[in-house]
């Protein structure tokens, strides 16, 4: 298809030679770019291959019990992933719980209500917020957020300590701190993707609702949002995938204790954090293999969630956001 534009008749040999070289050049640039595109598929394949190959030792030893065992003891070669899976799920869920209302609210404001100038400025700032490196969030988490939670939020939660999720002593580093940091980190992604999806809703839908006497809010909430709901859910899934894989900020505020506690105020551990903390010093063998197994779990989880999110967003906007 690429080279169909050349050579029709049979010109003198020097000219034909020239055309042939040109044709080779054509093929070359086609093949080169094709190779680069194919390389992306190969790299993803390679990631899967390396993760699977390097985690087989752990899988053979522990099998599916890996997921339901809560003992993590490198000294005795006993490894179970449950505390980390639990920590990752709890912190991500908490992060989304805080981020979704704020994120979808802000997206509604920016897409539907705000004057275009104001909206453009806010969108610009939110994009900058998304560009802040996660280690910076971790830095602020350790030195600002954790003390702030301890001094201001904890006294408010203290009277609720009859609830299991707010029971126990609070040291600052906890599921709660990690959840709040995650919320701040995923909110910009939820806003920008949701906003794009909302903007894709046809204007006549809004005009029709307004013409029927609906208020601005009723139009937004009952007409525009349901129209874009699949895409908004997609944006939330994207946020979830980010939260699950987030490493540095969580590692710095979660406390890094491989224990399962029902209380959000207790320190915990997450999949990404344990890899970050132990991988560099892990002895080759079962320990390293178990960490890579955890990496494979994380990879599988985020791939599935991402795949679903992309399909949802694709369904509403007709393009892969």
List the interface residues with another protein, window 168-197 (CB under 8 A): 184, 187-188, 191
Question: Which residues within the stretch 202-221 sit at the binding site for another protein (CB under 8 A)?
Answer: 213, 215-218, 221
For position 25 contacting another protein by CB under 8 A, the verdict is yes
28 token code pair? 């070359």
DSSP 19-32: HHHHHHHHHHHHHH
Binding segment for another protein (CB under 8 A), chosen from 44-52, 56-64, 68-76, 228-236, is 44-52
What one-character DSSP code corresponds to residue 245? H
End-to-end CA distance of the chain: 29
Q: Which of 17, 33, 71, 158 binds another protein (CB under 8 A)?
A: 33
- Confirm or reject binding of residue 43 to another protein (CB under 8 A): yes
Residues binding another protein: what is the number (CB under 8 A)?
A: 93
What is the CA 69 to chain-centroid distance, rounded? 26
Residue choice 17, 21, 73, 143 for contact with another protein (CB under 8 A): 143
Complex with another protein: residue 154 or 279, whichever CB lies closer: 279
Closest CA to 94 of 229, 186, 164: 186
Q: Is 231 in the site for another protein (CB under 8 A)?
A: no
CA pair distance 146, 314, nearest whole angstrom = 38
CA 267/CA 258 separation, integer angstroms: 9
Q: Which of residues 61-100 bind another protein (CB under 8 A)?
A: none
Binding residues for another protein restricted to 261-300, rule: CB under 8 A: 272, 275-276, 279-280, 291-292, 295, 298-299
Binder of another protein out of 149, 186, 197, 252 (CB under 8 A): 252
Range 226-238 burial, b when 16+ CB lie within 10 A, else e: ebbebbbbbbbbb
Figure out which of the listed residues 142, 157, 199, 257 binds another protein, where binding follows CB under 8 A.
142
Question: Residue 29, Cβ neighbours under 10 Å: how many?
Answer: 10
- Tokens representing 116? 């275009």
Q: Which of 82, 102, 199, 257 binds another protein (CB under 8 A)?
A: 102
* Contacting residue, 81, 94, 110, 182, with another protein by CB under 8 A: 110
Q: Beta-carbon neighbour count of residue 282 at 10 Å?
A: 17
* Of 11, 17, 18, 44, the one binding another protein by CB under 8 A: 44
* 226: CB partners within 8 A, 6+ apart: none
Q: Residue 71 or residue 215: which is nearer to another protein going by CB? A: 215
Select from 8, 40, 152, 204 the one that contacts another protein (CB under 8 A).
40
Q: What is the DSSP letter of 255?
A: B
């Amino acid at each position: 298809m690429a080279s169909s534009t050349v050579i029709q008749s049979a010109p003198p040999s020097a000219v034909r030679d020239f055309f042939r070289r040109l044709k080779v050049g054509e093929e070359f640039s086609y093949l080169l770019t094709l190779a680069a595109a194919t390389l992306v598929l190969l790299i993803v394949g390679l990631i899967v291959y390396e993760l699977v190959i390097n985690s087989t030792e752990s899988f053979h030893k522990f099998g599916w019990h890996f997921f339901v065992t809560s003992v993590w003891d490198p000294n005795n070669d006993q490894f179970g992933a449950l505390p980390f899976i639990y920590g990752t799920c709890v912190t991500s869920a908490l992060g989304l719980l805080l981020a979704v209302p704020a994120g979808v609210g802000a997206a509604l404001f920016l897409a539907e209500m705000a004057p275009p100038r104001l909206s453009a400025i806010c969108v610009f700032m939110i994009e900058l917020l998304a560009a802040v490196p996660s280690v910076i969030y971790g830095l602020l988490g350790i030195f600002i957020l954790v003390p702030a939670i301890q001094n201001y939020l904890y006294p408010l939660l203290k009277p609720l300590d009859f609830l299991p999720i707010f029971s126990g002593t609070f040291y600052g580093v906890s599921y709660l701190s990690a959840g709040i940091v995650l919320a701040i980190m995923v909110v910009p992604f939820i806003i920008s993707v949701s906003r794009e999806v909302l903007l894709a809703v046809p204007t006549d839908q809004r005009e029709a609702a307004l013409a029927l006497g609906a208020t601005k809010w009723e139009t937004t909430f009952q007409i525009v949002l349901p129209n874009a709901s699949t895409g908004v859910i997609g944006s939330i899934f994207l946020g979830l995938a980010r939260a699950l894989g987030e490493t540095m900020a969580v590692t710095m505020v979660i406390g890094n204790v491989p224990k399962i506690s029902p209380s959000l105020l207790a320190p915990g551990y997450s999949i990404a954090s344990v890899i970050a903390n132990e991988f560099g010093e892990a002895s080759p063998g079962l320990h390293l293999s178990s960490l890579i197994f955890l990496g494979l779990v994380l990879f599988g989880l985020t791939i599935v969630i991402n795949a679903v999110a992309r399909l949802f967003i694709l369904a509403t906007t007709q393009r892969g956001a």
